[in-house]
């Protein structure tokens, strides 16, 4: 049982003791347990408006709300994984924390959002190669357990006492919220689509070229994506989108990454790039798609889908072996349902041998489920055939904690909201034998599912 400060004076003496160990410019990190509160409900009450906001909603598993930036890193280039690892390790190791053990749930975390490519095509546009944030506030919950954590650099009026007071008062305010039955994330009236871009013609010509490449043997696989721009007829609150996603995508991990009020990345990822927990790694091979309702056996027995899937399993396995691990996998894929789509799924597991989390993430990203094979050639073709920046689409998003436990999901089934503009991206894997009509249908289906899961009316002309 973890001993948590039961009174304000106990919290204050723990804070003062921890702050004495700090060198100049050090960050103090204080945590308190609290009554169970849904992080989605707590999020708007954690930071000031315009602040960084993050939500990780794996409920009924772990969920996290975070707000404010205590420390951050944003950069592009070939060393992004290595530098993000260094930033995470330094930020987390240097924290002065309350004495005593800390349950895994309450550990401080660095939050991470990568872009698909290491750098945007044109400097100054698009998402940076990586954004990493040590948040000021972190509320984490699993089942009935819930912890609130505050992190600030001491100095300039911030003292151990002021932080202890801020944490104590905020916990009280949040607990009152939980007990009031007022849940803040309202059921806002659904908005409509005022205008949607037509992506079909552009996709068709890129698709024909991509099929030539896989048929001609230049590539084994290419995951070509399309982007649809929607203009909505009213404002859309990312938090109400998230509460809808929780109901429509229960088996996924819902996420929000919001650097400013102007832009929010929202989605529900069905795919783990890498989860590290207590020395065990898990990665998901997820490829091969059918709409819910088709006979399940069709997908399991489709040679094209099984081949497409096996390429992903083999690549992930080979990457992990090269990293010195001994990966295990079930012999056959199973079916995984995500909303109204069904995928072939193979979980791959391994015991860790001291590898740094982001070194493994770098080796795995992007898998052939979202890029292609061979990787380098496929990435170059994506740059030339897709007429848009992928940004965060299909890139790793998640967190790393003080013990190296890590969860990174692949940011597919996602959209970027800028005011009343919503940008949706979806892709489908092409291999030898793929039919253009079927692939067109598959991306249309995925875009339609995205609209549906975001609670937008399905407009036939746009889907
Ligand atoms: C690329 C996407 O999904 C990926 C591609 C799949 C496929 O080609 O069958 C299935 C699941 C995902 O790994 C997407 O949803 O945009």
- SS3 assignment for 117-149: CCCCCCCCCCCCCEEEEEEEEEEEEECCEEEEE
Q: What percent of the chain has pLDDT over 90?
A: 74
High-pLDDT (> 70) share of the chain, %: 94
Answer with the residue of higher pLDDT: 389 or 100: 389
**pLDDT at residue 461 is higher than 60:** no
Chain-centroid distance, C-alpha 356: 19
Counting from 1 in the atom list of ligand 1, the atom nearest the Cα of 312 is: 13
Instruction: Say if residue 60 is preceded by a cis peptide, omega within 30 of 0.
Output: yes
Q: Is the CB of 238 under 6 A from ligand 1?
A: no
Cβ–ligand 1 contact at 412 (below 6 Å)? yes
Residue 463 scores a pLDDT above 80: no
- Checking ipTM against 0.95, whether it exceeds it is yes
Q: Where does the pLDDT of residue 462 fall: very low under 50, low under 70, confident under 90, or very high at 90 and above?
A: very low
pLDDT at 460 over 60: no
pLDDT tens profile 407-430: 999 999 999 999 999 999 999 999
Tokens 């020395």 sit at which residue?
279
* Most informative mutation of 273, 370, 409 for ligand 1 (most atoms within 8 A of CB): 370
The two tokens of residue 452 are 């549906």
CB 204 within 8 A of CB 440: yes
What mean pLDDT is predicted for residues 201-205? 89
Domain boundaries in the chain? 194-236+287-392+417-462
pLDDT in tens, 93-134: 999 998 778 999 999 999 999 999 999 988 777 899 999 999
Fold of 194-236+287-392+417-462: Anthranilate synthase (3.60.120)
Q: Give me 179's structure tokens.
A: 């007990």
Which of 122, 240, 118 is closest to 190 using CA atoms? 240
Q: 95 in ligand 1 pocket by Cβ < 6 Å?
A: no
Residue from 224, 292, 429, 450 whose mutation best tests the ligand 1 pocket (most atoms within 8 A of CB): 429
**Residue 271 is among the residues annotated as catalytic for this protein:** yes
Give the CA distances from residue 168 to residues 13, 21, 93, 109, 150, in Å, rounded to whole numbers and listed in that order. Answer: 13, 22, 24, 20, 10
Cα 19 from chain centre: 33
pTM reported for the whole predicted model: 0.95
Residue 74 is encoded by which pair of tokens?
A: 């944003």
Is residue 446 within 6 Å of ligand 1 at its C-beta?
A: yes
Q: Which of 271, 308, 423, 442 is catalytic?
A: 271
φ/ψ region of 379 (left if φ > 0, alpha if ψ in -120 to 50, else beta) reads: alpha
Per-residue pLDDT at 278: 94
CA of 429 to the centre of ligand 1 (A): 7
- Above 60 in pLDDT, residue 266? yes
Mean pLDDT calculated for residue range 145-174: 96
Q: Atom of ligand 1 at shortest distance to CA of 425?
A: 16
Q: What is the pLDDT of residues 31-69, one digit of tens each?
A: 999 999 999 999 999 987 678 999 999 988 999 999 999
Q: Which of 174-188, 217-231, 325-339, 424-438 is predicted with the least confidence, judged by mean pLDDT? A: 174-188
Q: Is 221 a catalytic residue?
A: yes
Which contiguous run of DSSP H or E holds residue 95?
none
Contact residues for 159 (Cβ-Cβ < 8 A; gap 6+): 19
Q: Measure Cα distances from 356 to 88, 90, 362 in Å.
A: 11, 13, 10
In this structure, the number of other CB atoms found within 10 A of the CB of residue 284 comes to: 25
Residue 5's pLDDT is: 77
State which ligand 1 atom lies nearest to the alpha carbon of 410: 13
Closest C-alpha to 316, from 254, 358, 377, 274: 274
Spacing, Cα 144 to ligand 1 middle (Å): 34
H/E element holding 413? none
Those residues whose C-beta lies under 8 Å from the C-beta of residue 372, and which sit 6 or more positions away, are 219, 220, 221, 222, 223, 378, 379, 381, 382, 429
Model confidence at 236, in pLDDT bands (50, 70, 90)?
Answer: confident
């Amino acid at each position: 049982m973890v001993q948590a400060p039961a009174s304000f004076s106990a919290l204050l003496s723990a804070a003062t003791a921890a702050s004495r160990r700090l060198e100049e410019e050090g960050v103090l990190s204080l945590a308190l347990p609290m009554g169970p509160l849904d992080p989605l409900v707590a999020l708007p009450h954690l930071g000031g408006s315009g602040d960084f906001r993050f939500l990780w909603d794996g409920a009924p598993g772990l969920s996290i709300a975070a707000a404010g930036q205590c420390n951050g890193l944003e950069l592009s280039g070939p060393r992004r994984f290595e530098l993000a690892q260094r930033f995470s390790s330094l930020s987390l190791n240097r924290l002065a924390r309350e004495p005593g053990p800390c349950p895994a749930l309450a550990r401080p975390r660095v939050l991470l959002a990568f872009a698909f490519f290491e750098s945007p095509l044109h400097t100054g546009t698009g998402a940076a190669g990586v954004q990493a944030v040590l948040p000021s506030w972190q509320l984490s919950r699993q089942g009935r357990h819930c912890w609130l954590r505050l992190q600030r650099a001491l100095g300039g009026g911030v003292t151990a006492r002021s932080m202890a007071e801020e944490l104590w008062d905020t916990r009280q305010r949040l607990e009152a919220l939980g007990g009031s039955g007022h849940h803040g994330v309202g059921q806002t009236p659904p908005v409509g689509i005022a205008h949607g871009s037509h992506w079909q013609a552009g996709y068709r010509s890129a698709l024909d070229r991509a099929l030539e490449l896989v048929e001609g043997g230049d590539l084994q696989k290419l995951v070509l994506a399309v982007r649809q721009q929607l203009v909505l007829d009213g404002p859309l609150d990312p938090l109400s989108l998230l509460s809808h996603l929780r109901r429509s995508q229960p088996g996924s991990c819902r996420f929000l990454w919001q650097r400013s009020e102007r832009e929010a990345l929202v989605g529900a990822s069905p795919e783990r790039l890498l989860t590290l927990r207590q020395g065990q790694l898990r990665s998901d091979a997820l490829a091969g798609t059918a709409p819910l309702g088709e006979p399940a056996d069709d997908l399991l027995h489709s040679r094209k889908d099984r081949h497409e899937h096996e390429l992903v399993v083999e690549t992930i396995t080979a990457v992990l072996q090269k990293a010195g691990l001994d990966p295990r996998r079930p012999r056959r894929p199973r079916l995984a349902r995500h909303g109204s789509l069904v995928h072939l799924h193979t979980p791959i597991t391994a015991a860790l041998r001291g590898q740094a989390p982001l070194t493994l993430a770098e080796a795995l990203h992007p898998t052939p489920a979202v890029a292609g094979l061979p990787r380098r050639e496929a990435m170059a073709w994506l740059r030339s055939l897709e007429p848009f920046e992928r940004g965060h689409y299909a890139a790793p998003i998640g967190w790393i904690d003080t013990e190296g436990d890590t969860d990174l999901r692949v940011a597919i089934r996602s959209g970027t909201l800028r005011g009343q503009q919503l940008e949706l991206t979806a892709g489908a894997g092409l291999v030898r034998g793929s039919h253009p009509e079927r692939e067109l249908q598959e991306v249309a289906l995925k875009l339609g599912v995205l609209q549906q899961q975001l609670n937008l009316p399905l407009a036939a002309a746009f889907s």
